[in-house]
Amino acid sequence: MAELDSRYTKPENYVNRELSWLDFDYRILEEARDKSLPLFERLKFLSITASNLDEFFMVRVASLKDMVHAGYSKPDIAGMNPEEQLKAISEKTHELVGLQYSTYSRSLVPALRQNGLRIIAAHEDLTEAEGAYVDQYFRENVYPVLTPMAVDSSRPFPLVHNKSLNIAALLQKKEGGDEVDFAMVRVPSVLPRIIEIPSEEGRAVILLEEVMERNIQSLFLNYDILAASPFRIMRNADLTIDEEEAEDLLKEIEKQLKKRQWGEAIRLEIQENADKRILKRLKKELNIHTDDIFAIGGPLDLTFLMKMYGLEGFDHLKAPKYVPQPNPAFLNDDDIFTNIRKGDILLHHPYESFDPVVDFIKKASKDPDVLAIKQTLYRVSGNSPIIAALAAAADNGKQVSVLVELKARFDEENNINWAKMLEKAGCHVIYGLVGLKTHSKITLVVRREEDGIRRYVHLGTGNYNDSTARQYTDCGLLTCHPQIGEDATAVFNMLSGYSEPLHWNHLVLAPIWLRKRFMRMIQRETNHAREGRAARIIAKVNSLCDRDIIAALYEASCAGVQIDLIVRGICCLKAGIPGLSEHITVRSIVGNFLEHSRIFYFENDGAPEIYMGSADWMPRNLDRRVEILFPILEDELKKKAMHILQVQLDDNLKAHVLQPDGTYEKIDRRGKAPVGAQDTFCREAEAAVREAEESADPVNTRVFVPVESDD
C-alpha cells in the first residue's frame, strides 16, 4: 500500500492548475473558431475568453507574483514553483492571445463583413462622410468627458486605473524645442465602446478609441502629436484581508476595494505597431517586466464583442433564444408549499425555469403561516427579486436571517449595498464568517401548519441569482423532508455561531465533514472493486485540483473502479495513463450555457447514491469554505439526476475529451448520431411540459372530471 500511495501523489502525475485553466480558455476559443456555430455566438465565445483571461491575471497571476515577491518557492502539486509557473503561463498566454487575435481578424472580421457588418479597424480607413460623422460625434459626446493628462516636470505620471483602456501620446510643442512630452487620456468607460456609423452599404461600426485617436489633436492644441497608441493594464486585484485584526469586516472590505485600483501592474497590453518610445516610457513608469507585455494585433480588450453581440438585427446569426420551461410539478393551481409536500422537486436550470425558487421566497414572505426565512446569499443579481422578497418578509414580521457573503470575489461592493438594505428592512444579517467563505446555497422556510411545524428547504448548486440562472446550468432541490429540514436548521444555527448539532441526518458540510466524506465514499468504491463488487464513480464538477481526492481517484482506478469525470475547467488529474488512471475518463463540456452544477454518483455495490452540492473538488472548497453536499433521496429524482449525467457522458458535439498526453480533443463522431447535452436538455424540458399539458387535457384522457361543490 505505502509504495502505491507515493505513486499516486507524485508531482509528475498531476497537471499544474493554471496551465489546465488556460487549456479551458483554449477550449472556449475553439468554440469561437467553430465555423458550424452561428457567427454572433462565436463573437460571444471570443469575448468570454478575453474576460476570463482578465480575471485569470487579476487573481491567479497576481497571487503567483505575490508569492515570488515574498520569496515563497514551494512547488505546487505538479512540482512547479511559482517562478516556473509564471514562466510557463507567460508562454502559454502569449500563444493564446495570438490565437485570439488571429481568430478575430482572420476569421470573424471577414465573416462579419460578408454578413453585412463592417468593423472599421483604423480611423484612417474611414470615408470622408464617415469621418465627418465621427468627428461630430466626438465633439458632441466624447470631448466633454475627457481628461487629458500631460506629464512634465511639474506633473507626475498619472495613475492608470486597473483594466481601463487609455491612449498614450507623444507630444512636441508647436513652437520650438525638441523636447518630447508624454500624455495620456482615458477612454471613458461611461460611453459605449462601439459606435455605429451610417454606411452606404450594409452596416458599419468603429471603436471609441479610434474616434479619439483621430481627434487627439483637439485635446493638445499647442502640441504636435508624434505618435498615439491605446494601451491597457491589469493590476494585482486579489484581496488578502486580515480578518482577525479587522474589527469590522464591512469597513475593511470597503477600504480594500479602494485599494484595488492601486495594485501592482501585472500585464500591459499595447497595440503591436505602437511607437517604441511610448512602450519604453510605459514600461519604465509601470515597472513592468518584458514577459508581461502583450503586443496586440487588433483592438485591445475583446470584451467589447459581448456588446457587439447585443447589436440590433442579426438575429439570424445568433442561436435562437431558449425560454426556460416550467418544471411539470408546478403545472397546476396549487401553491408552491402544497406542491413541495407532494414530493421532492428537482430543478434543472436553465432548462427549467428558476422562477419556482424566486416564487418560493416570495410566497414565504407573504404567507401568514411562515415564521422564519433563512438564506445564504453569495452573488445576487442587480435588482434581485429575492432581496426584495426578503425585505418584504421582514416587514411582514417574519424572522429573516440572511448570511451575505461579502468576500464573493468582485461582487463585494454589490453585496455590501444589499446587506445594508436588508438590515434596514429589519432582517438579521450576518456578514460572513471569520476565516471562511460561505459558498453554500441553502434556503430554509419554517412554517407553522395545522399538524405542526414544517420546514421547506431549497438546496442548490448555483447562486440565488435569477439572471445568471438563465445562463448557468445548475440543479436545485425543493423538499420538506423532515430530516433535511432538521439539518438545514442546524446549518443556520452553526452559521449564527452556535455549536454543531449532535448529529447530521443527510447534509454534509465543508469545511468540517465534507472532505472526509468524499474520501470515504471514494474509498468505499475502491474496496468494493477489490472485492469484485459493482463499483463506479461519476462526478461532474467545475474544477478538480485537490491532491487527496485525485490520489484517491487514482487508487480507485487502479483497483478497477470505472470513473467518469465531467470537469468543465481546471483538471489537475491525468486521465487514461496506464497503471495509474486507465479507468478514468475526463470530459469537458463547453456550450452556450456555462456548465456549473456539481453532481456526484457512487455505485455503492448496487445501492447507488447521488449527491449534489456547491463544492468543487478544490482545496479551497473543501477546506476554506462553508459548502453543503446534499443527497437526492427519491427514486424518481435519482433517475432524473442520473439521466443528466448520462446525457453529458453521451455528448459528442460539445464534449472535449482529455487525452493521455494532456490535450483535449473533440470526439470523432463518424458513424454516431450527434448528441449535444445542452440541446437535449432543452428539448426534453419542452417535451416534458407538452406531455404534462397533454395528459391533463380532457380530450386526451377521455374522462371528464366533473366539478362539484364540496359538500
- Site residues for other proteins, window 513-532 (CB under 8 A)? 513
We find the least distance from the C-beta atom of residue 256 to other proteins, in angstroms, to be: 29
| Residue 503 within binding range of other proteins, rule CB under 8 A | yes
- Nearest residue to 312 via CA among 471, 470, 207, 203: 203
Catalytic site residue from 123, 439, 528, 583: 439
Residue closer to other proteins, measured from CB, 402 or 446:
446
Site string for other proteins, 353-382 (x = CB under 8 A): ------------------xx----------
**Buried b / exposed e along 121-141 (16+ C-beta atoms within 10 A):** eebeebeeebbebbbebbeee
Stretch that binds other proteins, among 127-135, 446-454, 472-480, 628-636 (CB under 8 A): 446-454
Residue closer to other proteins, measured from CB, 221 or 502:
502
Q: Which residue, chain included where needed, has cell 472580421?
A: 109
| Residue 167 within binding range of other proteins, rule CB under 8 A | no
How many CB atoms neighbour CB 536 within 10 A?
18
Is residue 133 a contact partner of residue 196, using CB atoms and an 8 Å limit?
A: no
Residue closer to other proteins, measured from CB, 32 or 445:
445
Query: Which one of 206, 446, 580, 589 is in contact with other proteins (CB under 8 A)?
Result: 446
Residue closer to other proteins, measured from CB, 496 or 663:
496
The residues near 514 (Cβ < 8 Å, ≥ 6 apart) are 508, 613, 615, 622, 627, 629
Query: Which one of 178, 450, 635, 697 is in contact with other proteins (CB under 8 A)?
Result: 450
**Identity at 692, one-letter amino acid code:** A
The number of CA neighbours under 13 Å toward the Cβ of 104 is 26
- Rounded-to-integer distance, Cα 423 and Cα 4, Å: 54
- Site residues for other proteins, window 457-476 (CB under 8 A)? none
Query: Which one of 177, 313, 497, 698 is in contact with other proteins (CB under 8 A)?
Result: 497
We find the least distance from the C-beta atom of residue 446 to other proteins, in angstroms, to be: 8
Query: Which one of 9, 105, 399, 523 is in contact with other proteins (CB under 8 A)?
Result: 399
We find the least distance from the C-beta atom of residue 253 to other proteins, in angstroms, to be: 25
How many CB atoms neighbour CB 81 within 10 A?
15
We find the least distance from the C-beta atom of residue 602 to other proteins, in angstroms, to be: 18
Tell me the pairing of strands 203-207 and 117-120. Answer: parallel
Is residue 629 a contact partner of residue 507, using CB atoms and an 8 Å limit?
A: yes
**Buried b / exposed e along 4-31 (16+ C-beta atoms within 10 A):** eeeebeeeebbbbbbbbbbbbbbbbbbb
We find the least distance from the C-beta atom of residue 345 to other proteins, in angstroms, to be: 23
- Rounded-to-integer distance, Cα 420 and Cα 53, Å: 32
- Nearest residue to 629 via CA among 504, 535, 544: 504
Residue closer to other proteins, measured from CB, 305 or 509:
509
Stretch that binds other proteins, among 192-200, 308-316, 485-493, 627-635 (CB under 8 A): 485-493
End-to-end, the C-alpha distance of the chain in Å comes to 73
Query: Which one of 498, 663, 687, 691 is in contact with other proteins (CB under 8 A)?
Result: 498
**Buried b / exposed e along 251-265 (16+ C-beta atoms within 10 A):** ebbeeeeeebeebeb
| Residue 402 within binding range of other proteins, rule CB under 8 A | no
Residue closer to other proteins, measured from CB, 337 or 593:
337
| Residue 392 within binding range of other proteins, rule CB under 8 A | no
Count of residues in contact with other proteins, rule CB under 8 A: 22
| Residue 74 within binding range of other proteins, rule CB under 8 A | no
| Residue 501 within binding range of other proteins, rule CB under 8 A | yes
Q: 3-class secondary structure for 5-47? A: HHHHCCHHHECCHHHHHHHHHHHHHHHHHCCCCCHHHHHHHHH
| Residue 322 within binding range of other proteins, rule CB under 8 A | no
439 carries an active-site annotation: yes
We find the least distance from the C-beta atom of residue 55 to other proteins, in angstroms, to be: 36
Is residue 427 a contact partner of residue 401, using CB atoms and an 8 Å limit?
A: yes
| Residue 6 within binding range of other proteins, rule CB under 8 A | no
Beta bridge partners of 204: 118, 197
Residue closer to other proteins, measured from CB, 144 or 452:
452
| Residue 479 within binding range of other proteins, rule CB under 8 A | no
- Rounded-to-integer distance, Cα 442 and Cα 488, Å: 8
Catalytic positions, please? Answer: 439
Chain residues binding other proteins by CB under 8 A are 371-372, 398-399, 446, 448, 450-453, 489-490, 493, 496-499, 501-503, 512-513
